[in-house]
Every structure is written in structure tokens, then in C-alpha cells.
Amino acid sequence: MTVRIVVGAQFGDEAKGKITDFLAADARYVVRTGGGPNAGHSIHLPEGAFVLHQLACGVLRHGVTGVSGPGMVVQPIAFEEEMRELERKGLLRGEVLVSDRAHVLLPVHEIEDAWEDELRARKRPGAGIGTTRRGIGPAYADRAGRWGLRMGDLARPSVLRERLELLYATKTHLSNLPAIDELASRLTEVAGRLAPLIRPTEPVLWEAVARGENVLLEGAQSALLDIDFGTYPFVTSSHPTSAGALVGSGIPPTEVDEVIGVAKAYSTRVGSGPFPTEDSGEMGQYLQRVGGERGATTGRPRRCGWLDLVMLRYAARLNGFTSLAITKVDVLGGLDEIPVCVQYVMPDGTTLRDVLPSQADDLDKAQPVYERLPGWPELHERAKERIRREGAHSLPSTLRRFLARIVEETGVGVEYVGFGPAREDTVRLEPTGLRGSGAGLSAWNG
């Protein structure tokens, strides 16, 4: 039995969905532990590329149950549409469960999200956070304020109506809200169709662990967007860390075996906020173009830059990574050299290597210090086929040195490497020591 947590180690969009889908082949349950329809996990199957927004990656595999867990905020109408779309395409191969404790994201939250972002921009130019306007922040705020509805409430019309009236009483500053009667009716209809899927999910997971079945906890967003430990206020509204995955699933920390941090071989960020290694010039545009760096949910172009080992060390300490998955190494193929940030120099002359300033304005002033590593050849299809066939031994020697440098700098072994978008474009590197013992995993096998 293994309980694994997959955590984004950067600003999101690290191909967590790809790694989760890869690991789901050995899982019985895959649990999405936070976020809502603001997140999109792109999965490349033989049938084409598909984006999952509220369903856990496990639903794409036979014999796996995808759980939308209690830490999520679920938009039930969009949830049903997403599920039906997969059914129409013949891709809903696993089972679906939704926690009755997950909170309901409503149209009112989407309206409020846009209102709040516009208010920030009006009050102070540049203060906009750049949210997806999917209603995530207001939904989590109502959860914390105890105004919210939970998925389990939808099957109780009197409770649903009462909760909606209380919630609407807090939204008098908003206009164009849908009528309560209309919204209650739509929610009740959807709840009737989703009822067989909504249940207490934590006992299901506890029993699975007791039976020795593999459970995979799938993070949304990433550690550097954590509302407490990320680049506040340019963050999400939940806890996309390993600790947050426990709260968002109900699994106790004593049951966790592995925490896998996912990072791209470079860095990207969507929306506003500090980004020390951003390249605003030609190379940043190159990474955006070659990497296909657009948001899976919004389609917005991602800001691009270089691998930041200061942030990766920080994320490793915060989450307790037992190993790393480094993705999209193919995007850097063909470059003569690869810049990697090894430390920051702050305005007062001090240096930082594994902690981040708690103030976003201070982080915005950090000057990255780069080490330039030799690049590796372009990973054309023939090279990828050889890696699929022969494994990590076929990775270019300079790419192996790049991975080894990450291990040396972070003290965390690289266990998985993604070298393309397809499901089979992931190679597992053999462990050479104990998990969680610093650099106990080699950067490659052999």
C-alpha cells in the first residue's frame, strides 16, 4: 500500500496532471484535494488532449475511482457537464465520487470574483491579482465565513433554500444576481442527477488504506500559490501543499508514504505577482511558443523564465518532498546553455538560497544569480522513442548532468522525468537509496 501526494513545486502549470495520470496506473483511488474549476489538468491520450477541471485524473483509467474531495469548491452544473462530455467521448473509464463536504461554488461567486478584481484595479492601478474569475476566492471566503453550501446540502431543498437566502443577504453590494428561485431549482435538478455520486468520501479512503490499496492525492495549483506560504496576495485561496492535501482528503499524515514535487525544467507564471527569473525578452517568448504555454482553463499566455532553485528548495522544505518529477525537458532541447537560478541578491546585499521573503514587494526586488549549464540536443521523435524503449540510460548526458545538479542543489532525488506531452513520455528513474534521505535518488539509473 502506498499513499502518495503530488504537489506543484512552482507557480502551477508544471504538468501535475500528466504526472498524476502516469501514477494513477497503479492507484485504486485518485483524490483531487483542493481548488475548483479554476484549475485545468491537461492529459494527452491516444484519442487526443483533454482538460480536466473538477474531476480527478483517475476517472480516465479503468478500475480507478476519481474522488473530488472535501477540500474542493465544486461548481455542480459545470461538474456534471464535464462528466457528461467525457462520457460522450468514451473516456469516463473509472468511477466518480464527490465529497458531501465539498463546498458549492455558485454563479454569485463568479460575479463577486469579477467585482472584487475590478475594485482592486479601480482603487490602485496594478493591484489586480489576475484571477480566473471562476469564483474560487469568494467561494472559499464564504466557506471560512460559514455562509456556504456544501454538496451534501443540495439534496435537502429546505436547507438549500435557507442557506441561499442567508448567502444572498451578504451580497447586497452585487447586481445582476440570478433569482434565488431559479438558482435553487437548477441546483436541485443537478443534485438529483449527481446524488448517486455524492457521499462521505473520507471513510471510503480510510477503508482503502486499511485494505492496503494505493491512494494518490492530486494537488491543484501549486505550493508557491498557497494562501499562507505563497507570494501573497498573488495566490490562490486554498492550501495546495502537502499539508493541504491531507486537509482536503481526510487522510492523516501518518499514512503518507511519498510526497512528489512536480517542477518544469524552466518556470512559468499566470497572472500578476513577483517572478524573479522571468525572461521578458526573446527567450521568454521562445519558451512560451515551444512549450505551448497557455492556461488550460483560461487560454491566457503564461509568463516564462528559467528554473528557480531558490523557490524549489523552499518548496521542498515546505512540503517535505521525497522525490521530484521534472517535466518538459524536451522544451529546452537544442539550446546551447540553460540558465538556472541558484540564489537571490537582495537590495541590501544579503543573499537568499532556500527561503523567500514573506512580502511580495520584497521578492519582486530580488536579483537572480544564474549558473549556466550546458544544454542538450533536441529530443526529436526518434530520441523520444529510444527513451521510451530503453529508459533513463538513453537521456542525453548533459540532460543527466542538469538533473544531477538539481539533486545536488535541493537534496531531493529526481525520480520522474517528463520528456513530451504524451502519457508514455514519462520515464521513472530507479532509486538508489532510501526515500526521503536527501539525495538518496540518483538523477538517472546507472
Asked if the structure places residue 175 within a domain, the reply is: yes
**266-269 and 303-308 strand pairing:** antiparallel
Which grid coordinates are listed for 414? 529526481
Query: What is 130-175 written as a DSSP string?
Result: ----SSHHHHHHHHHHT---BGGGGG-HHHHHHHHHHHHHT-TT--
How does residue 120 score in pLDDT terms, banded at 50, 70 and 90? confident
- 98 forms beta bridges with 68, 198
**Distance of alpha carbon 20 from alpha carbon 158, whole angstroms:** 39
Tell me what pLDDT residue 433 has: 30
Answer whether residue 256 is part of any domain.
no
Q: Is the pLDDT of residue 19 over 60?
A: yes
**Domain count of the fold of the chain:** 1
Confidence of residue 297 (pLDDT cuts 50, 70, 90): low
pLDDT on residue 341: 98
Is 154 part of a structural domain of the chain?
A: yes
Average per-residue pLDDT for the chain: 92
- Give the tens place of pLDDT for each residue, 223-237: 999 999 999 999 999
DSSP 8-state secondary structure symbol assigned to residue 54: S
Identify the pLDDT of residue 9: 98
CATH number for 187? 1.10.300.10
In a domain, 29, yes or no: no
Q: How far is CA 155 from the centre of its chain?
A: 30
49: pLDDT confidence band, cut at 50, 70 and 90?
A: confident
pLDDT bin (cut points 50, 70, 90) of residue 39 is confident
Tally Cβ neighbours within 10 Å of residue 339.
18
Report the Cα 440 to chain-centroid distance in Å.
25
- In this prediction the pTM is 0.93
What is the model's pLDDT at position 296?
65
3-state DSSP assignment of residue 72? strand
16 within domain boundaries: no
Our answer to whether residue 226 is catalytic in this structure is no
pLDDT of residue 434: 26
Confidence of residue 127 (pLDDT cuts 50, 70, 90): low
Per-residue pLDDT of 249-287, as tens digits, reads 999 999 999 999 999 999 999 989 999 999 999 999 999
Q: Phi and psi of 428, rounded to 5°?
A: -95, 135
Longest CA pairwise span in the chain (Å): 65
- Judge whether residue 122 has pLDDT over 90: no
Catalytic pick among 21, 41, 226, 330: 41
pLDDT at position 68 is: 98
pLDDT band for position 443 (cuts 50, 70, 90):
very low
Q: Tell me which residue range forms the domain holding 173.
A: 103-196
How far apart CA 237 and CA 71 sit, in angstroms, is 11
Across 229-233, 328-332, 396-400, 432-436, least confident range: 432-436
Contact between 38 and 297 under an 8 Å Cβ cutoff? The reply is: yes
Whether residue 299 is predicted with pLDDT greater than 80 in this model: the reply is no
Tell me how many degrees the CA angle 354-358-360 measures, rounded to the nearest 5.
110
> Is the pLDDT confidence value at 432 over 60?
no
Residue 377 CA, distance from chain mean position: 29
How far is 408 from 314, CA to CA, in rounded Å? 15
- Candidate list 13, 21, 113, 153, residue with the active-site label: 13
Active-site residue 239, yes or no?
A: no
SS3 at position 303: strand
Query: Is 110 inside any structural domain?
Result: yes
Predicted local confidence at residue 155, as pLDDT: 93
Q: Confidence band (pLDDT; 50, 70, 90) for 242?
A: very high
- Which residue type occupies 119? L
Chain Cα centroid distance, residue 17? 8
- Low-confidence winner among 29-43, 250-264, 317-331, 389-403 (lowest mean pLDDT): 29-43
**Could you tell me if residue 109 is inside a domain?**
yes
**182 domain residue, yes or no:** yes
Q: Is the pLDDT of residue 85 over 60?
A: yes
pLDDT tens digits, 375-397: 999 999 999 999 999 999 999 99
Question: CA torsion 164→167→169→171, rounded to 10°?
Answer: -120
Three-state DSSP at 238 gives coil
- Cα 237 from Cα 142, distance rounded (Å): 11
Given this model, what pLDDT does residue 444 score?
36
Rounded Cα distance between 429 and 6, Å, is: 17
- Would you say 96 and 84 are in contact if contact means Cβ atoms under 8 Å apart? no
* pLDDT of res. 121: 81
